[in-house]
């Protein structure tokens, strides 16, 4: 597609938003960030390459990086099979990664991985979008909220969700914590349920076939709840595996409170 096509698509997206027409379309979280002029996040890499994201997350917590002999340059394989070394910043080939500049390196390599091959197309789509939508009107949204505004909030089928959920770590359908979990889901509003699905899978969009067709970063992947952590911990999510790590809370009230707090107040992955 030429740049004019992406620009036109951005305008259509903006018009749909302005006139309140919900789109039955699925976009990555990275695109919603781009529409908000926000930089890509590490969780966006999870959706593209879980193994690469895991290596970046390891590097994020590593204390000594000088011994890795990294520089601000990456190797990129082109469609014709050639390998091209691309600098992440001017002179990056000669600039070593150290503990001091590690944060900048991670930001730049995340941006490169997310935008690789689509940077120009994304820019034209975003330009078209903002020709219709004043950036100030969407500036108050985060990527999750913009997704809900554009793609809508379809009514989730809780029965289908439950039928297509698997359990690990000792949890099972009749385990008290799992019983309380589904009781909490019954008490949630539809918007809160969508936020939970976003929290765990990275998107509120469910395939038209239902929860049985959920996909992870490596192919089909069912919604999963695994026992993890202590009762003081918040639930955490692994979006590339559609997995919710749920601590064994001792009461249904505490589970409900912790689940709401995790969904509404936290961002599981990101560069800190």
Catalytic residue among 2, 4, 5, 240: 240
Does the annotation count 240 as an active-site position?
Answer: yes
The two tokens of residue 248 are 């064994």
Residues with catalytic annotation? Answer: 240
């Amino acid at each position: 597609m030429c740049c004019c096509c992406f620009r036109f698509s951005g305008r259509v997206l903006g018009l749909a938003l302005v006139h309140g027409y919900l789109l039955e379309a699925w976009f990555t979280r990275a695109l919603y960030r781009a529409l908000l002029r926000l930089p890509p996040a590490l969780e966006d890499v999870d959706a593209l390459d879980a193994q690469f994201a895991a290596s970046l997350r390891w590097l994020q917590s590593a204390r000594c990086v000088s011994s890795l002999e990294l520089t601000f340059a990456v190797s990129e394989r082109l469609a014709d099979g050639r390998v091209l070394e691309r600098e992440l910043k001017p002179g990056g080939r000669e600039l070593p990664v150290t503990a001091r500049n590690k944060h900048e390196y991670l930001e730049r390599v995340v941006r490169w991985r997310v935008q690789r091959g689509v940077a120009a197309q994304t820019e034209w789509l975003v330009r078209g979008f903002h020709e219709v939508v004043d950036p100030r009107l969407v500036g108050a949204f985060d990527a999750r909220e913009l997704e809900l505004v554009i793609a809508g909030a379809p009514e989730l089928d809780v029965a289908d969700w439950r039928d297509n959920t698997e359990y690990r770590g000792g949890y099972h359908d009749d385990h008290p914590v799992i019983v309380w979990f589904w009781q909490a889901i019954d008490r949630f509003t539809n918007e809160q349920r969508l936020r939970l699905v976003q929290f765990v899978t990275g998107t509120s969009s469910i395939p038209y076939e239902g929860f049985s067709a959920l996909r992870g970063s490596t192919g089909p992947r069912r919604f999963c709840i695994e026992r993890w952590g202590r009762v003081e911990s918040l639930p955490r999510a692994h979006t590339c595996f559609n997995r919710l790590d749920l601590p064994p809370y001792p009461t249904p009230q505490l589970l409900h409170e912790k689940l709401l707090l995790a969904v509404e107040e936290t961002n599981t992955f990101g560069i800190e």
